[in-house]
Amino acid sequence: MAAIDLSIFDLFKIGPGPSSSHTIGPMLAGGDFLALLRRQPPDILAAGTRIEVELYGSLAATGRGHGTDRAVLAGLLGQDPRHCPPQFLDALAHAPERAHPLDLGPKTLSISAADVVMGPVVCDLPCSNTLALRLRGEDPDAPPLLERRYASIGGGFIQYAGQQLPARGEPAYPYASMADIRRIVREEDIGLHRLMLENEAALTGDRPNEILARLDAVLAAMDASVDAGLAASGVLPGPLKLKRKAARLFARGSRNRRPPHDSALTKLMAYAFAAAEENAAGHIVVTAPTCGAAGIIPATARFMRTALELPEHSIREGLLAAAAVGFLAKHNATIAGAEGGCQAEIGVASAMAAAMLAHAMGYGVRVVENAAETALEHHLGMTCDPVGGYVQIPCIERNAMGAVKAYAAYCIASDEMPAHHKVGLDQAIAAMRATGLDMNRKYKETAEGGLAVSVVAC
């Protein structure tokens, strides 16, 4: 099997919610198609009269609720997920009929959210999160002048035919499984965080101090999402009229009359609610590994700073261990709800957070693996069933439960003999992949099963 050659910052992306596969990926696709358009010969552009975007599969089923229409439109208008102001997306949502000029150099076209159409939900495509962008001419029945299809494969990653990936070096310590990592750590006598740091440097050419600075920026963005969520109140956007709970939970956890451990766990949940509510509002979060699960690792990091009083370098090294788990899940299964259900988002994020805790607390690679495996094992089979297609119910509460399960998994793993643990992380990831393949399509981010049909979205 090929070695993992992803950058840590491919996994931890800063951008707007509420869904990495439905917002960050489509925004990147829109930006890529804009660049492709601007490279076309003048005669092709001269014949073009409009841009058409068609969404398929899960994107078609929940694209409105997830904000896919405005995300791809923002990309076509030159916005990048890392720097797109939430106010820009809010303005697109509030005036979907408004036409915007699309500057292509030799000519300018107009585009609006009305040009984003919902295609078939059930379709014979390799990826259930697929979108097609087309330049069309005067004749609506004629083939498009230009077309590119994108697969949004989770975590803000996109793929298309003929895609040229950026040139990268070879990893210093190639691995494709947790068994590989255990062997490398043992044979090279190297810590997991050092393995990840040296691989990142070898792949990207960045110096270690540059990588650490970028990790600090990621942790700062995560913490900012927690702060913003704790400071906010009111109702989240959309027809569910869901009230924010993070601030109330945090206040409850801060009352002196609560038992200390109860208070700490209540605050952990409040931190997860805070970042997840910011994601649901379409504000800036960090994919960890996705937007839908973007509350778990930020909550765990805040908990490590406050309740566990860990120094920042330990949290940073824990984040490197979390990245290793996220890479393994993506490489050997999936991190997309549309492919594997919520086990692939909340489950993987919880496993990453459990590994982060164990490594930051000074435990070795076997305890780190066991913590991650336990967290993932107890999310196996979880469906992705967003009510109304909005990343709110049950998504926000699942972030809080994922954070608590991560802490529980760490506690179990750190208190057992590592050799007594019977299930490996590679086995749990294989089980997740098989479960996702067997799972009925309606339970994979289509809002056609589970809570999405049991709860009235009004």
**Domain ranges across the chain:** 19-159, 178-454
**pLDDT recorded at residue 83:** 85
Rounded Cα distance between 432 and 329, Å, is 9
- Select from 377, 384, 386, 356 the least CA-distant residue to 425: 377
Indicate the fold that domain 19-159 takes in CATH. Answer: 60s Ribosomal Protein L30; Chain: A; (3.30.1330)
**End-to-end alpha carbon distance in the chain:** 48
Distance CA 2, CA 311 (A): 36
Q: How far apart are CA 330 and CA 11, in angstroms?
A: 9
Are residues 399 and 293 in contact, defined by beta-carbon separation less than 8 angstroms? Answer: yes
Q: Please tell me the distance from the alpha carbon of residue 405 to that of residue 183, in angstroms, as a whole number.
A: 28
Task: Specify whether the CB–CB gap between 267 and 307 falls below 8 A.
Answer: yes
pLDDT value for 257: 62
Amino acid at 319: L
Nearest to 283 by CA among 23, 72, 9, 26: 23
Torsion of CA 66, 68, 69, 71, to 10 degrees: 120
Instruction: Tell the burial category of 43 from Cβ atoms under 10 Å away from its Cβ (0-12, 13-18, 19+).
Output: exposed
Spell out the per-residue pLDDT of the chain, length 458, in tens. 799 999 999 999 998 888 888 899 999 999 999 999 999 999 999 999 999 999 999 899 888 878 899 999 999 999 998 888 878 888 888 888 899 999 888 889 999 988 899 999 888 888 888 999 999 999 989 999 999 999 998 888 899 988 887 788 999 999 999 999 999 999 999 999 999 999 999 999 999 999 999 999 999 999 999 999 999 999 998 899 999 999 999 999 888 666 666 789 999 999 999 999 999 998 999 999 999 999 999 999 999 999 999 999 999 999 999 999 999 999 999 999 989 999 999 999 999 999 999 999 999 999 999 999 999 999 999 999 999 989 999 999 999 999 999 999 999 999 988 889 999 999 999 999 999 999 999 999 888 999 999 987 65
Q: Give the DSSP H or E segment for 52.
A: strand 50-56
Is residue 65 within 8 A of residue 447, CB to CB? The reply is yes
CA atoms of 280 and 16, how far apart (whole Å):
9
Q: CA 269 to CA 303: how far, in whole Å?
A: 10
Backbone angles phi, psi at 23, to 5 degrees: -120, -60
Phi-psi region of 101 (alpha: psi -120 to 50; beta: other; left: phi over 0): beta
What pLDDT, on a 0 to 100 scale, did the predictor assign at position 258? 61
* pLDDT (0 to 100) of residue 329: 98
256 neighbors 273 (Cβ within 8 angstroms): no
DSSP string covering 146-171: EEEEEEE-STT-EE-TT--PPP----
Which distant-in-sequence residues (6+ apart) come within 8 Å of 305 by Cβ?
A: 312, 315
Distance CA 421, CA 371 (A): 10
Q: What is the pLDDT of residue 330?
A: 97
Task: Write down the pLDDT at residue 449.
Answer: 93
pLDDT at residue 138, rounded to an integer: 92
Burial 55-93 (b: 16+ CB within 10 A, else e): bbbbbbbbbbbbbbbbbbbbbbbebebeebeeeebbebb
Nearest alpha carbon to residue 234 among 225, 244, 226: 244
Question: 395-414 and 365-377 are packed helices; what angle lies between their axes, rounded to 10 degrees?
Answer: 140
What confidence score (pLDDT) does residue 292 get? 94
Q: What is the spatial distance between Cα 332 and Cα 163, in angstroms, rounded to a whole number?
A: 21
